[in-house]
């Protein structure tokens, strides 16, 4: 069965009909074969939903026996294998026959909600250097979906840039631990704390204090925060590490916590993260 919403693809047409098309509409790829009984059960469910959703996604069917290159490229181990493509990449996937309700939930995960679309407009305004319009759209997205955590992170980010620190912090505090966006929210909240701690202090002032009083933990922590706001992460980590080594209890372990947030910010593969993680571990144990 083929319609404008249900197509057959091959190794040769996959790039154009799946990858490129997924930049404008989600594409659900059904890797199947004629001999596969579960495929015959799942296929009609996918086709029914493709017709029902009427263009909100494209169903692309590919016979793995006749198109082994794509099957190998996407490491298909068992069929039916279904992969949902968004913006040129696999966004979600499953293997095996599923109920209509399960397939519907899978498809819904690929399709932008009203809040998603509003947040996307906010991102466009943000990248166009129109922060007021970005803030308005991110707020609208959150009003539409009170648990739209990506919009909360984005709103917090723009508010911080605009100097609306208290509001930014209040928005970011609503993102609960365990949510994917929690780590970024934690990074942004710590960025706010760095800014507030460093506010009103200069590098010359703080280095002078440390030159005369090397054990001035308050000045060292403030200097570490100032360096972090300037993205001088190696120097910031060095000062925070010195505090951990000198006074682990300072401000409820603030220096160690600051280092952990900087590790999140830099990423696990960053050489600074790897170096200072080792140094921190050796300081603690």
Catalytic residue annotation: 36, 39
* Rounded Cα distance, 62 and 285, in Å: 55
**Would you report the helix, strand and coil content of the chain in percent, each value rounded to 5?**
60, 10, 30
Pair 122, 151: CB distance under 8 Å: yes
* Rounded Cα distance, 128 and 150, in Å: 19
Quick one: which of 146, 150, 159 has its CA closest to 185?
150
Rg of the chain over Cα atoms, rounded to whole angstroms, equals 25
Q: Torsion-angle region of residue 96: left (phi > 0), alpha (psi -120 to 50) or beta?
A: left
Sorted by sequence, the CB contacts under 8 Å of residue 180 that are 6+ apart come out as 149
* Rounded Cα distance, 214 and 78, in Å: 63
Quick one: which of 229, 219, 232, 158 has its CA closest to 194?
229
Joined together, the tokens standing for residue 70 give 């794509």
User: 254-266 and 233-246 helices cross at what angle (nearest 10)?
Assistant: 150
- Give bridge partners of residue 94 from the DSSP assignment: 82
Sheet of strand 58-63: strand arrangement? 6-8, 58-63, 27-32, 81-86, 89-95
């Amino acid at each position: 069965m083929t319609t404008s919403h249900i197509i057959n693809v091959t190794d040769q047409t996959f790039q154009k009909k799946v990858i490129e098309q997924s930049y404008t509409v989600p594409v659900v790829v059904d890797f199947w074969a004629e001999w596969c009984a579960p495929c015959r059960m799942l296929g009609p469910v996918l086709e029914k939903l493709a017709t029902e959703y009427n263009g909100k996604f494209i169903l692309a069917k590919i016979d793995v026996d006749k198109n082994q290159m794509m099957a190998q490229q996407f490491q298909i181990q068992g069929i039916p294998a279904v992969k949902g493509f968004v913006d040129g990449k696999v966004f979600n996937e499953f293997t095996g026959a599923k109920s209509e309700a399960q397939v519907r939930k899978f498809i819904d995960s690929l399709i932008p909600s009203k809040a998603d679309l509003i947040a996307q407009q906010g991102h466009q305004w943000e990248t166009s250097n129109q922060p007021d319009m970005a803030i308005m759209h991110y707020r609208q997205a959150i009003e539409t979906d009170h648990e739209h955590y990506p919009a909360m992170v984005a709103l917090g980010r723009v508010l911080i840039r605009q100097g609306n620190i208290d509001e930014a912090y209040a928005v970011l505090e609503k993102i609960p631990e365990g949510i994917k966006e929690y780590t970024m929210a934690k990074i942004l909240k710590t960025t706010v704390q760095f800014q507030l701690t460093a506010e009103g202090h200069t590098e010359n002032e703080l280095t002078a204090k440390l030159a005369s009083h090397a054990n001035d933990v308050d000045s060292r922590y403030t200097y570490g925060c100032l360096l972090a706001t300037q993205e001088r992460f190696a120097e910031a980590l060095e000062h925070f590490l010195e505090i951990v080594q000198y006074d682990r209890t300072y401000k409820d372990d603030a220096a160690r916590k600051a280092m952990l947030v900087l590790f999140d910010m830099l990423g696990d593969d960053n050489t600074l993260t790897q170096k200072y993680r080792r140094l921190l571990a050796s300081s603690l144990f």
